[in-house]
Amino acid sequence: MMRDANTGCGGTPDHRVVVTEVGMRDGLQAIARTMHTDDKKRWIDASYAAGVRHMEVASFVPAKLLPQMADAEAVIAHALTCPGLVVTALAPNLKGVQRAIDSGVHRIVVPISVSEAHSLANVRKTPRDMIDAFAEMCAMAAGRAQMIAGLSTVFGCTLQGDVPQDDVAALARQAVAAGADVVALGDTTGQATPRQVGEIVEKVRAVAQGKLRSLHFHDTRGLGLVNTLVGLQHGIREFDASLAGLGGCPHAPGATGNVNAEDLVFMLHSMAFETGIDLDALIAVRAVLAAALPGEPLYGYLARAGLPSHMRPSPAGAAMNAAGTQASVSS
């Protein structure tokens, strides 16, 4: 059943939406070059100054497999100096979860693929094996970090093909039983459609015991924001996004680009949702990426076209506001 766009998961009015910046992890792992640690810190600082208060900044995987994440501890240590910033990391196994806990992160995402083919390619375990491992991870992290069951290939898989909705619901139920604090649904391969999103959100909600809170979309086929809108209509209030649309999955061929953070915040603000993010300041953060990753494609409609005129004060209005502010200060 579709919910009112202004009603949260608990059935109460909720105009607040959490936008989690995942570019430092999901974005950077998808490009060939490695961003310098100091540039990652600048990215975190600039995003924080723009009002971003949730960031997924690293993953704990062997450096030989993902050299882009070799500085995970240093990046996390810096992120933790930002007051009020919720710091998240991804960890695919027990060793990674222990490192994440030791680093002091607040939340740990464990990727659990619904597709067996993708699961074997990504973590060399079947989905059932991952649930068993996840139960151990949750026990290890109890009282020290929030555990997120990041269900991936929820909406289709480039390796397996169709992913039955009943399989998604079954895995979500198992993840909750294993100790998940949060269930997040991921469109790893960029195949989600609006109808699918609504159907799967409701199917998973029925078994997730109130723990379905987050959606992660890719914009491979241009439906990222549309799918987000459907998620909003079904009561979801937390979404992943990446500055300049960076991102993808190494084990999901063709799954280019996370939802663009700037475009997402623009859409949310246009619908009167609150994010706490200064949109102009967020767009300006792109300069950090441009300097750190010269030549890397940066995507986004808003950065190219700018805000529509009806969403900006007129020059005369801005001048009057400035004059009024000055007069009140002087008096």
Instruction: List, for residues 84-122, the tens digit of each pLDDT value.
Output: 999 999 999 999 999 999 999 999 999 999 999 999 988
| Averaged pLDDT, 14-30 | 94
Residue 325, pLDDT score:
36
> Residue 240's Cα: distance from chain center in Å?
2
What residue type is 143 in one-letter code?
A: G
The alpha carbon torsion through 281, 286, 288, 291 (nearest 10 deg) reads: -150
Q: Average pLDDT, stretch 262-278? A: 97
**Catalytic residue status for 82:** no
In this predicted structure, the answer to whether residue 9 has a pLDDT above a threshold of 80 is: no
Which pLDDT score, from 0 to 100, does residue 13 have? 43
Task: Please identify which of the residues 9, 138, 157, 249 carries the catalytic annotation.
Answer: 249
Confidence (pLDDT) at 316: 45
pLDDT at 247 over 70: yes
Distance, CA of 253 to CA of 1 (rounded, Å): 33
Percent of the chain with pLDDT over 90: 79
SS (H, E, C) the chain: CCCCCCECCCCCECCECEEEECHHHHHHHHCCCCCCHHHHHHHHHHHHHCCCCEEEEEECCCCCCCHHHCCHHHHHHHHCCCCCCEEEEECCCHHHHHHHHHHCCCEEEEEEECCHHHHHHHHCCCHHHHHHHHHHHHHHHCCCCEEEEEEECCCCECCCECCCHHHHHHHHHHHHHHCCCEEEEECCCCCCCHHHHHHHHHHHHCCCCCCEEEEECECCCCCHHHHHHHHHHCCCCEEEEEHHHCCECCCCCCCECECEHHHHHHHHHHCCCECCCCHHHHHHCHHHHHHHCCCCCCCCHHHHHCCCHHHCCCHHHHHHHHHHHHHHHHC
pLDDT of residue 11: 38
Q: Which tens digits make up the pLDDT trace of 291-304?
A: 999 999 899 999 99
pTM: 0.89
pLDDT of residue 122: 84
CA-wise closest residue to 166 among 114, 231, 218, 236: 114
Cα torsion angle, 128, 55, 220, 310, sign: positive
Higher-confidence residue: 292 or 2? 292
Q: What is the pLDDT, as a whole number, of residue 147?
A: 98
249 falls in which pLDDT band (50, 70, 90)?
Answer: low
Is 212 or 315 the better-scoring residue by pLDDT? 212
Please provide the average confidence, as pLDDT, over all residues in the chain.
89
Phi-psi category of 264—alpha, beta or left, where left has phi over 0 and alpha has psi -120 to 50?
Answer: alpha
